[in-house]
Amino acid sequence: MNSVIISYSYTGNNNALAESVARELSVKHINISVQKPITMGSILMDMIFARTPKVQLDPDIMQQYDLIIFCAPIWMGQVASPLRAYLNYLKTSPKAYGFISISGGADGANPKLDSELRKRTGTQSIILLDQHKADLLPTNPKPTRKDTSAYRIGREDTKRLTSTVIEEIKKII
């Protein structure tokens, strides 16, 4: 399957993961380019008022691939808003897609991702993998949101997370 990885990252973790997965699979990695800078304020507004930030989306590039693997953080239980325009695009031009993330996980799983992806794209994702920073941190005391937000994945973490992602992707392609 001719695949591409499309990522968005606010603090760098998901781009590090996307870059590493793309290198491992020898596939193209595209970084989502937003038209206005994302701030903590704009994130909260997007999530509360269901806004879709403007991004540069090239339909010609999307058409070149059989499988699109998105990689982005989870915000307030949802896929990060800069991905919305891409997910909406898939509703009009359906294509196999997957979603991977390194999220915080301080409050446990993010159970609404599957239904959100289906709602936005109109189809089921063929890969859905949400890995948590909380699982990379010492368990006693239990990591808080503050701990997981401050944590940046290092080289060893990236290697470990990448191999889990590759295992999942290899079941499909």
Ligand X SMILES: Cc1cc2nc3c(=O)[nH]c(=O)nc-3n(C[C@H](O)[C@H](O)[C@H](O)COP(=O)(O)O)c2cc1C
The residue within the footprint of ligand X, chosen from 3, 9, 20, 125 (CB under 6 A), is 9
Q: Token pair for residue 159? A: 């290697």
Residue 29 makes contact with ligand X by CB under 6 A: no
Residue 30 makes contact with ligand X by CB under 6 A: no
Q: Helix, strand, or coil here: 117?
A: helix
Residue 161 makes contact with ligand X by CB under 6 A: no
H-run or E-run covering 132: strand 127-132
Contact 4, 32 (CB under 8 A): no
Tell me the C-alpha distance between 18 and 158, whole Å: 10
Go through the chain and tell me how many residues it has: 173
Residue 74 makes contact with ligand X by CB under 6 A: yes
Q: Which stretch binds ligand X (CB under 6 A): 8-16, 60-68, 120-128, 162-170?
A: 8-16
Residue 150 makes contact with ligand X by CB under 6 A: no
Q: Which is nearer to ligand X, 43 or 62 (CB)?
A: 43
The residue within the footprint of ligand X, chosen from 24, 38, 57, 77 (CB under 6 A), is 77
Residue 165 makes contact with ligand X by CB under 6 A: no
Contact 69, 95 (CB under 8 A): no
Provide the β-strand partners of residue 79: 74
Q: Which positions lie near ligand X, rule CB under 6 A?
A: 9-14, 43, 73-77, 102-105, 110, 133, 148-149
